[in-house]
Every structure is written in C-alpha cells, then in structure tokens.
Amino acid sequence: MDARNLLRDPRDRRLPRVPDPCALVVFGVTGDLARKKLIPAVYDLGNRGLLPPGFVLLGFARRDWGDGDFEQLARRAAEQHARTEFRADVWQRLADSIRFVPGSFDEDDAFDQLDKTLIELEESHGIAGNAAFYLSIPPVAFPTVLKQLDRTRMADSRQRGGFRRVVVEKPFGHDLTSSRELNKLVDTVFTPADVFRIDHYLGKETVQNLLALRFANTLFEPVWNSNYVDSVQITMAEDVGIEGRAAFYDAAGAGRDVLQNHLLQLLALTAMEEPVSFDAESLRTEKHKVLKAVSLPSDLDDFTVRGQYEQGWLGGTRVCGYLDEEGIPAGSTTETYAAVRLGVETRRWAGVPFYLRTGKRLPRRVTEIAVVFKRAPHLPFAHTDTAELGNNQLVIRVQPDEGITLRFGSKVPGSAMEIRQVSMDFLYGAAFTESSPEAYERLLLDVLLGDKTLFPDHVEVEASWRVIDPLEEFWHGRRPERYRAGEWGPHGADEMLAREGRTWRRP
C-alpha cells in the first residue's frame, strides 16, 4: 500500500484515497474519448495529488509512434480539455511515465510487446503487476481485445502478482442476447470483481447528490411516493448531431445509445428504496429491484415516440438533417429522438408514470430529473388561476448548470390573495468553492482503487435490455417521425403526454 494511505485515518472519508502504484492501459488512445475525457482526467487527478508516484499511462493504438509522439498528443489533450489549470511541473511528472505501444487489435506481436512493456514497468516504476485496461474502442472490437488479453495471460491477476482490471464502455451489447455473450466473455477473461462497466453519468456529482437529497434529508423522502408524486420526467437533450460517429450511431440509435443505459440508470436512482449502506453491493441490489419492476406501456403506439431530425436552425446556424450527415445511408430509419412512458410496479410507485426522453439537435444541452407533485386538493384562492399555479416541482439538474430547483406557489405582493409559481435554486458553483470533478475523473480514480460503487453490474445491464428489447422490436421497420433541428422533438411526444392531461416541462 502507498505510504500516504497509511497516514490517513480510515474513518475520515473526507480525505481521498490514493491508489497503489499501477499502470492505466488505454486501448484506442487516439480517439475522441481518450483525448477529450480520459487523458484530461488523468492530468486532473495528477494535479490534485491523487495519483501514486509509480503511476504509468500506457497507450495502445494503430500509429507508428514512439513514447515522445504519444506524450505530445497527451499534453495537447490535457492543455485543451483539463478541468484544472494546466501546470508544466505537474505535466513533467506525468510525462516521465507515459509510454506507447503501436499495433492493431488482431496483431499478436503487438500484444506480446504490450505484455513485455508491463513487465519492464514492474521494475522501473514499481507497479508490482497492477494494471487497469480501458477499452476506449468500438464495441465490435471488445471480443478481439479481450481474447488477446486472455491469450497473453495479461488479465490473470494471480499470475501477475497484482490487480488486473478492465473498463468496458457502453453500450454493453446491442440487445439482451449479445449483452449476455459479452458479459460471459469478459467475466471469463477477468474475474467478475475486476470488471468495471462504466456509465459516466453515474460519476456526475449531481447524480450522486440525488441520493444525498433523498436519504440525508427528512424533508423529501416522506413525499417521494405515489401518494404525492403525479409523474416523473427524465430528460437528456443534446444540441449536437452525431459528431462523426455515423457508423456507430446509425446502428445504435437513441434507444440503445442513451435510453438503455443513462436514462434507465437515472430512473433506478430516482425510484430505488434506501440501501442499507452506500457500498457497491447494497446500491446495486436496490437499483436492480427497480429495473426488474419497470413496466412498458400496454399501448406502445400511443406511449412511445421515435423521431429523426431534419434540417433546421440552432444558435443562428443552419444545420443539416440526419439523412444528410456524412456516412448516414439514404433512407435510414434510425431514431435520433426517443420518448417512452414507463411504470415502476412497486408499492411506492404504482400508478406514477415515468416519462423518459432523449434527442439530438434539440434547442439546448440539458439533462434533468423533474419530480412533478400532485396539485393541492383544495385551492381557496378566488383570484388565482389554477392552471397558472400548476404543480410543485423538484428538478435535479444533472448538466450543464448543476443544481436543484424547487418550484412552489407563493403569494403575489398586494391586497389580493393571488398565488403564483416561483423557483428556489441551489447551484453547485455558487454554494461550494471547489468545482465538481468531471465524471471520468471520479470514475477513473475508483477503477484504480477498485471501488465499484458507481459501476453497474451485468445483472443491471441485462435488466435494462429486457426493457429496451421489446421497444426495439416494436420500432423495427417503422419510420420515425420527423422534427426540425432546434425544436423540442416531434409533435408525437407532446401528444403522448397530452393524452393523460400532462405536458413536458420546458428545461
């Protein structure tokens, strides 16, 4: 164990732990995820003193590079995308421990060289066989890389004398069957305890704060049920298009790309019962109960909506439609917008609809959870328009303006008893002097520490596919409804809520 950890009182959870000396091996290190998120997260952890002196960043990609070439790419990525201020002295400490191995995923010699490099680092950097492998690669390449790690025995922690962990990016398969096959493979190559299925939304401070909001405050939990809650709306809106990911996105669509993972995880955290403790197993147990209890609408025609954006205006700029994006086949029926009404068949939530929606080329980037409460049963206010008063709402803003808004009725100044909706806001940036870590910053640290609290396991993943597969089967071969870029999705989504006398909250 690192000497600094021995000096910390284990009861003091305010002090972050530092991992043991280790290597982080990133496959696909030249891709957008590595350049914009992973490498900057590594720098930020180093800048905060949360990396051990014996840390090594080892890149693997199909490039004819040496260690110096990779170091230059990594430096540019940190300078452009790091959350914390770039400091040359911090980078120099990291630069001395950056390595690169060129090769393709089906090249045995390249993986043999990777294995040899890790063995050499045991002596030069004292990593004692500790390594985490991050698969920042297309899902179709997962089996090839996993089999190479198995062939070389790089995944065998007992043989290597230290921990060997793997990080798998979503989506975990493209349906329940492929998910099970992938889970079986990864759990065969690595021990199940060493498999980290990453959903970066779970690393966001505001998502974790949802649990603190519910279970650390007596104020909210007593009304967090069907007796008081009318409905729940979970929105993930993006103003961008497919951003050069045509091959992946056209095969996945909004349902597999976002609904199956991010939004169902947010639903599970919103609807779960209080865990006995905040350890990984207790949290996963309660989330799994919710996912098993999720019900689809009996009428999928009326209560599911698919959309596809066409050309329109965003931020004063004209943007093309999905079918005109580079690499998208003509006549594609892939959805860029999806909305669905789900139920959670538990005593707490029976009868409460959960409306989930996600889309690209919407007016603004925002992710939020809105808990909409029932209206007061009696309003003795003669001068108040009940339609204007509306419902109380508790809104958890996940991004980009992290915080919480409580909407409630208040008296308008004057002689009449007139009530109007007002908002009370909590903003992370205003309440705390320290900025929130990026999601990947927190999750990478947890991987190196071996803490799986914020990582879904294969049981949760498979439960999510059991919700999504019937939707994908129902949608197969149907043409999505069109909506203009810059609008809040297709008209069918508004009609879906209007059938039950509700409207979407405007973020």
Closest residue by Cα to residue 133 from 160, 94, 96, 173: 160
pTM (whole model) above 0.85: yes
Q: Of 81, 125, 200, 262, which is the active-site residue? A: 262
Mean pLDDT of 417-434: 77
Which tens digit of pLDDT belongs to each residue from 183-204?
A: 999 989 999 999 999 988 888 8
CATH top class, domain 202-498:
alpha beta
d(CA 393, CA 507): 12
Mean pLDDT, the chain, integer: 90
- The yes-or-no verdict on residue 2 having pLDDT over 70 is no
Domain ranges of the chain: 3-169, 202-498
pLDDT score, position 254: 95
Which tens digit of pLDDT belongs to each residue from 238-288?
A: 999 998 888 889 999 999 999 999 999 999 999 999 999 888 899 999 999
Strands 294-295 and 354-359: unpaired
pLDDT score, position 323: 96
Residue % of the chain over a pLDDT of 90 = 70
d(CA 103, CA 152): 15
User: What's the CA angle centered on 462, arms 458 and 464, to 5 degrees?
Assistant: 120
- The fold of 3-169 is Rossmann fold (3.40.50)
Split at pLDDT 50, 70, 90, the class of 60 is: very high
- The yes-or-no verdict on residue 9 having pLDDT over 80 is no
Residue 257 in contact with residue 179, Cβ under 8 Å?
Answer: no
- The yes-or-no verdict on residue 16 having pLDDT over 90 is no
pLDDT score, position 379: 65
Split at pLDDT 50, 70, 90, the class of 72 is: very high
pLDDT score, position 420: 75
Which tens digit of pLDDT belongs to each residue from 131-146?
A: 999 999 888 899 999 9
pLDDT score, position 107: 94
pLDDT score, position 383: 56
Residue 407 in contact with residue 373, Cβ under 8 Å?
Answer: no
Split at pLDDT 50, 70, 90, the class of 67 is: confident
Split at pLDDT 50, 70, 90, the class of 414 is: confident
Q: Is 262 a catalytic residue?
A: yes
